[in-house]
Amino acid sequence: MRAPDETTLNPAQLQELAALDQVLAGEPVEEDYLELQALVASIRKDAPSMEPTFAAALDEKVAAGFPRRTLKVLKRGPFHGTRARLGTRSANRPRRPSLAMLATASSVVVATGALVVGAGIFRNTHVAAGTAGSSVASATNLRASGRPGKQSSSVDNTQTPGPTTPSQPSSTVSGGSATPSTVTPDALQANGVVSADHSSPATGSLARQVQQDATLTLAANRGQVQDLSDRVVAVCDRFAGIVQSSNVSTDDQGGSQATLSLLLPSAQLNSALAALSHLGHVSARTQNTLDITNSYDAAGGRLKEARAQRDGLLRQLAAATTPNQTQSIHDQLAIIAGRISQDQRAVNSLTQKAHYATLSVTITESRQGASFGGGSSVLDDALTSALHVLAVALSVGIVVLAALIPVILVVATAWATALTLRRRRRQQALEV
Amino acid sequence: MPGMTITAATVPLASGISADWFEQLYRSSAADLYGYVASLLRDRGAAEDVTALAFERAFRRRRLFNARRGSPRAWLFGIARNAALDELRRRGRTCALDEKSATRGQESYEEQERVATQATVRVALQGLQTKDRELILLKFHGQLSNAELARLIGTTESNVGTKLHRALNRLREACNESA
Question: pLDDT, tens digit, for every residue of A44-89?
Answer: 888 888 999 999 999 988 888 888 754 444 444 444 444 443 333 4
Residue type, B20: D
Closest CA to B100 of B174, B48, B39, B177: B39
Q: Give yes or no: residues A118 and A183 share one domain.
A: no
Count other C-beta atoms under 10 Å from residue A226's C-beta.
14
CA distance B163 to B89: 22
Q: Considering the domain boundaries, does residue B1 fall inside one?
A: no
Report yes or no: B86 and A91 within 8 Å, Cβ to Cβ. Answer: yes
Chain A hits for B159, Cβ within 8 Å: 2-3, 5-6
Q: What percent of chain B has pLDDT over 90?
A: 37
Q: Looking at chain B, which residue has its C-alpha nearest residue A7?
A: B162
* Pairing mode, strands A242-250 and A256-265: antiparallel
Q: Give yes or no: residues A254 and A349 share one domain.
A: yes
Q: Give yes or no: residues A172 and A251 share one domain.
A: yes
Chain A hits for B153, Cβ within 8 Å: none
* Residue A191 belongs to domain spanning: 168-375
If pLDDT is split at 50, 70 and 90, which confidence band does A264 have?
very high
Evaluated on CA atoms A121, A126, A128, A132, the torsion sign reads positive
Task: Taking residues A199-221, report their average pLDDT.
Answer: 74
Cβ separation B34–A7 shorter than 8 A = no
CA distance A177 to A84: 69
Q: Which of B42, B77, B97 is the last residue of a domain?
A: B97
In the three-class reduction of DSSP (H, G, I as helix; E, B as strand; rest coil), residue B95 is classed as coil
Q: Give yes or no: residues B87 and B118 share one domain.
A: no
Q: Cα separations (Å) of A287 from A216, A290, A360? A: 9, 10, 10
Report yes or no: A37 and A29 within 8 Å, Cβ to Cβ. Answer: yes
Q: Considering the domain boundaries, does residue A38 fall inside one?
A: no
What's the domain count of chain A? 2
Cβ separation B161–A66 shorter than 8 A = no
More confident residue, A332 or A106: A332
Q: Give yes or no: residues B18 and B93 share one domain.
A: yes
Q: Give yes or no: residues A345 and A409 share one domain.
A: no
CA distance A92 to B44: 16
Residue B9 has pLDDT above 50, yes or no: no
The whole-angstrom distance between A104's CA and the closest CA on chain B is 23
Q: Which of B42, B66, B97 is the last residue of a domain?
A: B97
Q: Give yes or no: residues A334 and A429 share one domain.
A: no
Angle between helices A34-46 and B19-41 (to 10 degrees): 100
The whole-angstrom distance between A407's CA and the closest CA on chain B is 26
The whole-angstrom distance between A404's CA and the closest CA on chain B is 27
Q: Give yes or no: residues A356 and A429 share one domain.
A: no
Upper half-sphere CA count for residue A96 (Cβ side, 13 Å): 3
Chain A hits for B87, Cβ within 8 Å: 82, 91
Cβ separation B48–A48 shorter than 8 A = no
If pLDDT is split at 50, 70 and 90, which confidence band does A116 have?
low
Q: Looking at chain B, which residue has its C-alpha nearest residue A66?
A: B56
pLDDT for residue A404: 92
What's the domain count of chain B? 2
CA distance A61 to A55: 10
**Residue A410 CB contacts under 8 Å (≥ 6 apart), including other chains:** A103, A106, A107, A110
> What is the phi/psi pair of residue B108, to 5°?
-70, 170
Report yes or no: A226 and A170 within 8 Å, Cβ to Cβ. Answer: no
pLDDT tens, B86-105? 888 887 654 444 444 444 44
Phi-psi region of B105 (alpha: psi -120 to 50; beta: other; left: phi over 0): left
More confident residue, A248 or A132: A248
CATH of the domain at B174: 1.10.10.10
Q: Looking at chain B, which residue has its C-alpha nearest residue A87?
A: B91
- Of the candidates A7, A25, A89, the beta carbon closest to that of B162 is on A7
Q: Give yes or no: residues B81 and B13 share one domain.
A: yes
Task: Taking residues A93-122, report their average pLDDT.
Answer: 60
The whole-angstrom distance between A108's CA and the closest CA on chain B is 27
pTM, two decimal places: 0.48
Q: Considering the domain boundaries, does residue B131 fall inside one?
A: yes
* Residue B139 belongs to domain spanning: 106-179
Cβ separation A39–B143 shorter than 8 A = no
In the three-class reduction of DSSP (H, G, I as helix; E, B as strand; rest coil), residue A240 is classed as coil
The whole-angstrom distance between A48's CA and the closest CA on chain B is 5
Q: Give yes or no: residues B92 and B39 share one domain.
A: yes
Residue A160 has pLDDT above 60, yes or no: no
Q: Which of B73, B97, B121 is the last residue of a domain?
A: B97
Chain A hits for B161, Cβ within 8 Å: 9, 13-14, 17
Task: Taking residues B98-115, report their average pLDDT.
Answer: 59
- Of the candidates A48, A84, A428, the beta carbon closest to that of B89 is on A428
Q: Considering the domain boundaries, does residue A390 fall inside one?
A: yes
Question: For chain B, how long is the longest CA-to-CA vector?
Answer: 53
pLDDT tens, A371-394? 444 456 678 778 888 999 999 999
Q: Give yes or no: residues B12 and B89 share one domain.
A: yes
Chain A hits for B171, Cβ within 8 Å: 39
The yes/no answer to whether this complex scores an ipTM above 0.95 is no
Q: Give yes or no: residues A392 and A268 share one domain.
A: no
